Amino acid sequence: MDTGPLPSDLTLHLTQVGLTASSLPGALNPVLQTITGHTSASAAAYYQRRDHPASSRAVLTTEPSYPARISRGPAPLPTLPPDLLRRLTHEPDLLNLPATAHHPALLAAPIRERGGELLGALLMTRPDSGPWRPGDCHLLRTLAGLVTLVAARLHAEERERDAHEHALRALSLALEARDHDLRGHTDRVTQLATLVGQAMHLAPDALGALRWGAYLHDIGKLTLPDDVLHHPGPLTPAMRERMRQHVDEGLNLARQLPFLPPEALDVIAAHHERWDGSGYPRGRSGTAIPLTARIFAACDVFDALTSPRAYKAAWTPGDALHFVQQGSGTHFDPQVVQALTQVLGHHAA
């Protein structure tokens, strides 16, 4: 390993990657790889503040946490503990910590926002407790400066995306408040679609777009008259035609949100299309249907079948999955059905 100064071309490359990356992993994976490749560290990780809104149901406090966001090798800690946070908050340089029963030997660089508030920390660890080499410390200081340049920008962008996501979910809940049959549907189908997308190895940006499109998939139903939306039995042909119009009306509404990516709009526009071309509103078929819409369509039908509605009882998950599997190659993309089966199988286990 090389513990001398970084070659200028590598420093320039890391700077360019950091300044142009659209996500923390994209910006910081090369940094962590450089640490483990050019120092005596066996692993490196980046920890960043995660702010919890007061309305979050996932936590019991509004205090921020500092989880490991990216690591190369095993992360030395799952999250930064309070005592380490206090020391990092007041540390002007590097924090050198010997091994304890709770963590291996650590060398940590605090990452601060422009006002001096602690945003995160860059940590490297080694299996033994020997002293860190001067070159290790110099490299960590250099890379911490680069991380400081990009982390605050990416953190602000993440917070903006979170705000957008909360707004989209609020829109979906507005529809559920109007149609009690849909209560809980959006959260369930969004979670399931995300798991299927992960099983199909969608890129992070595509997964985010799938989730946002799932929140808004039926937003066009806000325009439906009550006699159609709440009709207790089979729809008349005129009602059915009016119901189908909710797709284009939802797409028109969603296009007013300039931050929505095209793949999210695809979910709204095409989640009623079918693999064999018999769906609506465009009669698209096969891979002409965007993948995010194909994934969502199977998850949407599964959740609708397993949920009680005014006109039917809830199906068992097994019966609903069997129905989706029977539609493989006609209603649904066979690869999506395979991934849904895999996800549901894992959850059933």
250 shares a domain with 207:
yes
What CATH number has the domain bearing residue 297?
1.10.3210.10
161 found inside a domain? no
Q: Which of 201-205, 221-225, 295-299 has the lowest mean pLDDT?
A: 221-225
170, 206, 147: which is closest to 25 by C-alpha? 147
Q: Which residues are catalytic?
A: 221
Does residue 37 sit within a domain? yes
168: in domain: no
Location of structure tokens 């005129």:
238
The predicted structure's pLDDT at residue 232? 74
Structure tokens at 304: 């609708």
For residues 280 and 221, state if they share a domain. yes
Same domain, yes or no, for 151 and 187? no
Could you report the per-residue pLDDT of 42-96, keeping only the tens digit for each?
Answer: 999 999 888 755 444 444 455 788 999 889 999 889 999 998 999 999 888 899 9
Query: Residues 97, 235: one domain?
Result: no
Domain boundary pick from 156, 188, 219: 156
Is there a single domain that holds both residue 29 and residue 127?
Answer: yes
Same domain, 228 and 108: no
Q: Is residue 277 helix, strand or coil?
A: coil
- H helices of 216-333, in order, are 226-229, 237-244, 246-254, 262-270, 291-306, 317-326
Domain count, the chain: 2
Average pLDDT estimate for 2-19:
60
Higher pLDDT pick, 167 / 336: 336
Whether residue 136 sits in one domain with residue 208 = no
Residue 94 within a domain: yes
Residue 171 falls within a domain, yes or no? Answer: no
Q: Do 104 and 210 sit in the same domain of this protein?
A: no
Residue 67, beta-bridge partner list: 79
- For residue 276, tell me if it sits in a domain: yes
Find the angle CA(114)-CA(115)-CA(118) to the nearest 5 degrees: 85
CB neighbours of residue 52 within 10 Å:
14
Task: For the chain, give the percent of residues with pLDDT over 90.
Answer: 42
Task: Point out the domain boundary residue: 156, 188, 223.
Answer: 156
Position 163 scores a pLDDT of: 79
Do both 193 and 150 map to the same domain? no
For residue 86, what are the domain limits?
8-156
Percent of the chain with pLDDT over 70: 87
DSSP helix/strand/coil, 8: helix
Same domain, 319 and 184: yes
Which DSSP state fits 56?
-
Last residue within a domain, chosen from 122, 156, 190: 156
- 245 belongs to a structural domain: yes
pLDDT digit string (tens) for 218-266?
Answer: 888 888 887 787 777 788 889 888 888 989 998 998 998 888 999 999 9
List, in order, residues 6 or more apart from 99 with CB less than 8 Å away: 105, 129
Does residue 342 sit in the same domain as residue 272?
Answer: yes
**Per-residue pLDDT band at 143 (split at 50, 70, 90):** confident
Give CA angle at 123 (122, 125), nearest 5°. 160
Please name which of 131, 135, 109 lies closest in space to residue 120, comparing C-alpha atoms.
Answer: 109
Of 190, 206, 312, which is closest to residue 263 (Cα–Cα)?
Answer: 206
| 165 belongs to a structural domain | no
Q: Does 38 share its domain with 117?
A: yes
Cα angle 52, 54, 58 (rounded to 5 degrees) comes to: 60
pLDDT at 55: 41
Domain at 37, CATH number: 3.30.450.40
